[in-house]
Amino acid sequence: MASIEIAQLSAYLDEASVAAVTRAIRGESSDDVDLESNEDHQVIDGNIDDDLFVDFRDRLEANELDADIYVPVDFEEVLTVSDYRIGSTIALQSVLESLREDFFIEDQDDSELVPNDDEEEDFEDEEEEDEDEDDDPFLDDEDDAIEMKDAQLRHIWRLMNQAAHDSVANNLVIFIRD
């Protein structure tokens, strides 16, 4: 299972690696590089399906922003330091915003997980329409699988969006483990 965690950089890397990451970021960014915080370690989600997470990371890779660690500093390129790929949480937020449309997420959807009454009525109308149609049951299963995968990818998008927000707000680093 894959996980998304936020913590201080020193929670996962030794002193030498923290220094190397800091030096690499200073070479790319004009921002002040202070990667330590008094906030606690937090696991955003530790039970993400590996295959789905690979699909999500492929979308980040397509935007040239797939990384193992995201830091709350603004720079463009993904840096390689030791065995880690380091990306900017600021750039991640921008990429997530551009992916919002790909996942059919409306502005209020990223924080609202409970459907409102109108959505429940629309769902009931769709159920009535489905009962009237004589569709191939195999196509229904395939459509259901696609819808389930899309819903799970939207969930991962929300988790990453929340992690990016928390990272910037609390000066914490996002760690991706798969």
Would you tell me how many other CB atoms lie within 10 Å of the CB of residue 10? 14
pLDDT at site 102: 77
Burial class (CB in 10 A: 0-12, 13-18, 19+), 94: middle
More confident position, 130 or 98? 98
Average pLDDT over residues 42-65: 94
pLDDT at site 118: 43
pLDDT at site 129: 47
More confident position, 155 or 110? 155
pLDDT at site 150: 86
pLDDT band at 138 (very low <50, low <70, confident <90, very high): low
Please, what is the end-to-end C-alpha distance for the chain in angstroms?
A: 6
What pLDDT, in 10s, does the model give residues 67-94?
999 999 999 899 999 899 999 999 999 9
More confident position, 16 or 146? 16
Pairing of β 2-7 and β 69-71:
unpaired
What pLDDT, in 10s, does the model give residues 93-116?
999 999 988 777 776 544 443 333
Write down the mean pLDDT value for the chain: 81
pLDDT higher than threshold 80 for residue 61: yes
pLDDT at site 108: 54
Average pLDDT over residues 43-64: 94
Angle between helix 137-170 and 89-99 (nearest 10) = 150
pLDDT at site 140: 64
